[in-house]
Amino acid sequence: MAELQSVERALSALLDDVTPSEIERIDCTQAAGRVLAETVTARLDVPPADNSAMDGYALRHADAGQWLPISQRIAAGYAPAPLAPGTCARIFTGGEIPPGADTVVMQERVDAPDAQAHMPSDIAQGDNVRRRGRDVAAGTPLLDAGMRLEAAALGHLAGQGITQVGVYRRPRVALLSTGDEIVEPSQSLAPGQIHNSNRPMLSRLLERFGADLVMREHVPDDFATTQRLMRRAAECADVIVTTGGVSVGEEDHVKHALESLGQLDLWQLAMRPGKPLALGRIGQARLVGLPGNPVSCFVGAWVYLRPLMGTLQGCPRMTTLPRLWARAEFETRTQARRHYMRVGLEFTPAGVVAHAFADQNSAVLSSCLAADALAVIPEYTTVQAGEQVECLWLTD
Ligand SMILES: Nc1nc2c(c(=O)[nH]1)N[C@H]1C(S)=C(S)[C@@H](COP(=O)(O)OP(=O)(O)OC[C@H]3O[C@@H](n4cnc5c(N)ncnc54)[C@H](O)[C@@H]3O)O[C@H]1N2
Ligand code: MOO
């Protein structure tokens, strides 16, 4: 039997000479979830001028403790006039501080019976003034290359009046589902058949990882068709993901087709689930051959496809999953394969607790439903309930 390869070895074989795809300029309205390919420098101060943090009155701090005539009214959106000495200005949240004023008093603290207002004396200079450039100063770095553009980053870009950004092209992925027994969810099952549950599950995970799914095909269990569809996939995709057909059976054609078209880099891993996982390449395209069992696909996607998508998109954060320690609410024992157990995490005041779904068989997709993390149980280890286990947090 072939020697089992470590997950680390497989990851380095998979990622070693992978470089980020080309850069494209896109509209910010289309940029959610994309990976920034350039450092963005702020060109504007945010806020662009000193403004009020409260509805109230703007004054010179030197005039605190006095009755002051109200010389102007400043709503947000309008340019103020300079503040006449010895007066105050009615001002609203977001209104620009008039030249000459340096402090705002919230209206709840002000007695203003008619056109005059009494300012309290216990105020500090600068109170309730949001200074120009407090959030972002023009000329400073705003966003770093390699970050995924999510809500706050998109808000920051808009705050700068930026409408286009350079991002890495999304990796093109071909998803091939092998197996004569596999039928679409819309079809009813004949004896021996099962529905294709891996395809929608992997499609969703790949989309979360930033992939552009350019081909989805069912591949029957014959060598010539497997070879033909894999060749076609290599022509249109950066990454070919196959499911099933990588084990040792006579109907497992993926490895042979891969060897005939390109090269098999690595096969047979010391991990559970996912032992027969195959890695290789056809021309420029990478191939990740996931075992057919749904849990092997789910775990394989998090452990291999996420780092691959991250590397292709120039996003270092996606190449590893965040790790945390949790108290095991279960017992388990491993042999020669490292076990990636699906666990739900409970965040308690006393720490994080990991609950494992009772049936951890690789054909039992139910174990992934409430999985927040993969508890990584090393080879030849016994875990007792109450012990700490290291978990990989399943986050985009
Ligand atoms: N003699 C041996 N047999 C097996 C070994 C072994 O070492 N020696 N390894 C076992 C392990 S571990 C795994 S994992 C499986 C993986 O085999 P394959 O990758 O060739 O996958 P298939 O046989 O095609 O399918 C496995 C299982 O998953 C079901 N499946 C496949 N595709 C889908 C899909 N798209 N949606 C839902 N379910 C799917 C398929 O019907 C099978 O039940 O091999 C073991 N055998
Ligand atoms: O390696 Mo298989 O995925 O354990 O069942």
User: Hey, where are the domains in the chain?
Assistant: 7-21+170-319, 24-40+144-168, 51-130, 323-393
CA pair distance 1, 238, nearest whole angstrom: 32
Ligand 1 center–CA 393 separation, angstroms? 26
- CATH class, 24-40+144-168 region: alpha beta
| Maximum alpha-carbon separation in the chain | 94
Residue whose Cα lies nearest atom 26 of ligand 1: it is 292
CA pair distance 355, 346, nearest whole angstrom: 8
- Cβ atoms within 10 Å, residue 185: 9
Of the bound ligands, which one is closest to the alpha carbon of residue 241? 1
Let me know: does 235 contact 217? Beta carbons within 8 Å: no
The amino acid at 218: H
Which atom of ligand 1 is nearest the CA belonging to 289?
19
Residue 256 pLDDT = 96
From the CB of 189, is ligand 1 less than 6 Å away?
Answer: no
How is residue 66 written in tokens? 């006095």
Select the CATH number that applies to the domain covering 51-130 from these four: 3.30.1050.10, 3.30.429.10, 2.60.40.10, 2.170.190.11.
Answer: 2.170.190.11
- Estimate to the nearest angstrom the gap between the alpha carbon of 131 and the chain centroid: 33
Ligand 2 proximal residues by C-beta, below 6 Å? 272-275, 291, 293, 296, 362
Q: At what angle do helices 254-261 and 223-236 cross, to 10 degrees?
A: 60
Residue 329 pLDDT = 98
Select the CATH number that applies to the domain covering 323-393 from these four: 3.10.180.10, 2.40.340.10, 3.40.50.620, 2.40.50.180.
Answer: 2.40.340.10
Ligand 1 center–CA 182 separation, angstroms? 12
Let me know: does 92 contact 86? Beta carbons within 8 Å: no
Ligand 1 center–CA 187 separation, angstroms? 22
How is residue 34 written in tokens? 């994309």
Cα–Cα distance list, 161 to 36, 49, 188, 326 (Å): 17, 16, 53, 44
What is this structure's pTM? 0.95
Of the bound ligands, which one is closest to the alpha carbon of residue 246? 1
CA neighbor of 105 nearest in space, from 63, 47, 133: 63
Ramachandran class of 294: left when φ > 0, alpha when ψ lies in -120 to 50, beta otherwise: alpha
- CATH class, 7-21+170-319 region: alpha beta
Residue whose Cα lies nearest atom 4 of ligand 2: it is 273
pLDDT, tens digit (0-9, with 9 covering 90-100), for 225-261: 999 999 999 999 999 999 999 988 888 999 999 999 9
The strand pairing partners of 212, in sequence order, are 172
| Collapsed DSSP state (helix, strand, coil) of residue 260 | helix
From the CB of 226, is ligand 1 less than 6 Å away?
Answer: no
pLDDT, tens digit (0-9, with 9 covering 90-100), for 162-187: 999 999 999 999 999 999 999 999 99
Residue 7 pLDDT = 97
Ligand 1 center–CA 12 separation, angstroms? 25
Q: What's the first-to-final CA gap in the chain, in angstroms? A: 36
Could you tell me which residues come within 8 angstroms of residue 97 by beta carbon, excluding any fewer than 6 positions away? 49, 50, 51, 52, 58, 80, 91, 104, 129
Cis previous bond, 47, omega within 30: yes
How is residue 2 written in tokens? 């072939």
Residue 2 pLDDT = 65
- Cβ atoms within 10 Å, residue 77: 9
SS3 percent helix, strand, coil of the chain, rounded to 5, is 20, 35, 45
Cα–Cα distance list, 394 to 205, 206, 299 (Å): 11, 13, 10
CA pair distance 176, 219, nearest whole angstrom: 6
Ligand 2 center–CA 362 separation, angstroms? 5
Residue 307 pLDDT = 98
If one residue of 4, 271, 293 were mutated to test the ligand 2 pocket, choosing by the most ligand atoms within 8 A of its CB, it would be 293
How is residue 109 written in tokens? 């603290």
Residue 251: is it exposed, middle or buried by C-beta count within 10 angstroms (0-12/13-18/19+)? middle
CA pair distance 257, 225, nearest whole angstrom: 9
Residue 303: is it exposed, middle or buried by C-beta count within 10 angstroms (0-12/13-18/19+)? buried
ipTM exceeding the 0.95 mark: yes
Handedness of CA 339, 344, 345, 348 (dihedral sign): negative
Ligand 1 center–CA 291 separation, angstroms? 6
- Estimate to the nearest angstrom the gap between the alpha carbon of 276 and the chain centroid: 28
Residue 3 pLDDT = 87
Which atom of ligand 1 is nearest the CA belonging to 243?
32
| Collapsed DSSP state (helix, strand, coil) of residue 15 | helix
Ligand 1 center–CA 80 separation, angstroms? 72
Let me know: does 381 contact 360? Beta carbons within 8 Å: no
Q: Which residues of the chain have pLDDT under 70?
A: 1-2
